[in-house]
Amino acid sequence: MSLYECVVIARQDLATPQVETLTEELANIITTNGGQVSKREYWGLRNIAYRVKKNRKGHYVLFNVDAPAPAVKEFERQMSINEDVLRYLSVRVEELEEGPSAVMQSKNQRDDRPRRDGDDRPRRDSGYGRDGGGYGRTPRATEGGEA
Q: Assign 2 to helix, strand or coil.
A: strand
**At what angle are helices 69-81 and 16-32 packed, to 10 degrees?**
150
pTM to 2 decimal places: 0.70
Q: Kindly report the backbone phi and psi dihedral angles of residue 114, in degrees, each rounded to the nearest multiple of 5, phi listed first.
A: -70, 145
Q: Other CB atoms closer than 10 Å to residue 113's CB: what's the count?
A: 7
* Range 2-95 classified under CATH 3.30.70.60: yes
Which is higher by pLDDT, 43 or 101?
A: 43
Each residue's pLDDT tens digit, 108-131: 776 666 666 656 666 666 555 565
Give CA–CA dist 62/20, Å, rounded: 12
Question: In the chain, what are the domain boundaries?
Answer: 2-95
Mean pLDDT of the chain: 82
